[in-house]
Amino acid sequence: MHLPSRSAVVCNVCVLTSAALLTLSISCTSYTQKAQAADAAKPMTLLTGMPAVADPANLYSADAPGMVSSVAKGFPTRVYVPNSKSDTVDVIDPATYKIVGHFALPKHGKRLLEPQHVVPSYDLKRLWVAQDLGDQLTAIDPATGKPGETIQVDDPYNMYFTPDGKYSIVMAEREKRIDFRDAQSMQVVNKVPVNCAGVNHADFSADGRYMLATCEFSSEMIKVDVEGQRVLKHLPLEPKGMPQDCRTSPDGKVFYVANMDANGVHIIDGEAFRQIAFVPTGKGAHGLYFSRDSKYLYVSNRGEGSVSLIDLATRKVATKWHIPGGGSPDMGGVSADGKSLWLSGRYNSEVYVFDTSNGNLRARIKVGDGPHGLCFYPQPGRYSLGHTGNMR
């Protein structure tokens, strides 16, 4: 656009009458509003094959209480707890807080398997227990709560699914790779080097076209082209630390990233791929989960035994819940009705259940050694993007 000279601007302003200035102001305001409205009305270009976004203002509109998919509605409500140091899974009935099932994962020799997360499949029909040291995935039938087949997979610390449902993305942390696999057969399609240390948690943009992932041991984020299956950029984080869980905001405008060593949450503009804010939450900020009304982000502060609630309207901490006597809240999820938050107690061999209406601790349930990425299932949502239930 051609800009007039400074003197021309000054002269033009000098001869403007008050009425002309008012007209110019109204005209500029009207133009800006129209431009903003046009931008907001612009249709989202989705990843090919991805389900339509029901409500662009709330990516989690299908995750509200009572919106369990017909695929999963008949499954018994259970909480699946992978015990990373005892190579077992405990199954809890959330109605009674009692362990109603327990099984050991299949071993080959004495090597520790280290199950890290229980991950719902994209189509919601099964759960996967990701065991990184054991290099294997074990299926769970959510209709029975019993284990099924175990398959060999390189270093599955965590696992996600592309928004079109075609691929699983295995976060092969030890190998410094993310591996795209066929979501049904789990056969390798593409092994993608990430050139960062400790790649493990991620989430997808509103349109599904890119993914942001955390690199825990090199204090950075990577941006991944989902369709092209390649790393686009790296972003160092400030303050430095150990980035953990990563979640897309309900309005799709930013990503929240927990940082365990920096004791807070980074806010990242995914499109521009730059950090725009940092919110202190508490020692050992680790897991991130949205309330069922999409108003709050629950942040588990593992190092101090607390949960911070970030008000998504202000992007500030609204309140903090403390575990009486302390604890080590890690990963988990929100109940299907939204009334409780379930988190594993990583270093205390227990599971915590918070009342989301007031933050009171409803229960502490003793489980195996080193409980990590527990999964409350079934959950509301049309499909799963992985982790312990990133549903949309």
So what's the pLDDT on residue 29? 39
Average pLDDT, the chain: 91
Mean pLDDT of 343-351: 98
Q: What one-letter code names the amino acid at 313?
A: A
Is residue 21's pLDDT more than 50?
Answer: no
Contacts of 190 (CB under 8 A, 6+ apart): 179, 180, 229
Distance, in Å, from the CA atom of 359 to the CA atom of 308, rounded to the nearest integer, reads 10
User: What is the structure's pLDDT at 42?
Assistant: 62
Distance in angstroms (rounded) separating the CA atoms of residues 79 and 95: 10
Residue 24 banded pLDDT, cuts 50, 70, 90: very low
Can you tell me the mean pLDDT for 352-381? 98
> Residue ranges per domain, the chain?
61-377
- Give bridge partners of residue 159 from the DSSP assignment: 170
Q: How far apart are CA 69 and CA 92, in angstroms?
A: 21
Residue identified by tokens 């041991």 is 217
CATH classification of 61-377, choosing from 3.10.20.30, 3.40.220.10, 2.130.10.10, 3.40.50.1110?
2.130.10.10
Pairwise pLDDT comparison (278 vs 111), residue with the higher score: 278
Choose the weakest-confidence range: 42-46, 95-99, 259-263, 343-347.
42-46
| Measured CA angle at 240 (ends 236, 244), to 5 deg | 85
Q: Quick: pLDDT tens for 255-279.
A: 999 999 999 999 999 999 999 999 9
* pLDDT 10s digits, 160-197: 999 999 999 999 999 999 999 999 999 999 999 999 99
- In sequence order, the 6+-apart residues with CB closer than 8 A to the CB of 231 are 192, 193, 194, 195, 222, 223, 224, 225
- Give the single-character DSSP code of 60: T
Average pLDDT in the 215-232 region?
98
Confidence of residue 108 (pLDDT cuts 50, 70, 90): confident
Range in 34-43, 47-56, 120-129, 344-353 the model is least confident about: 34-43
d(CA 249, CA 255): 6
pLDDT of residue 31: 35
Burial of 73 (0-12, 13-18, 19+ CB in 10 A): exposed
**Of 27-36, 38-47, 66-75, 359-368, where does mean pLDDT reach its minimum?**
27-36
Mean pLDDT of 15-20: 36
Please state which of the ranges 7-16, 132-141, 163-172, 317-326 shows the lowest mean pLDDT.
Answer: 7-16
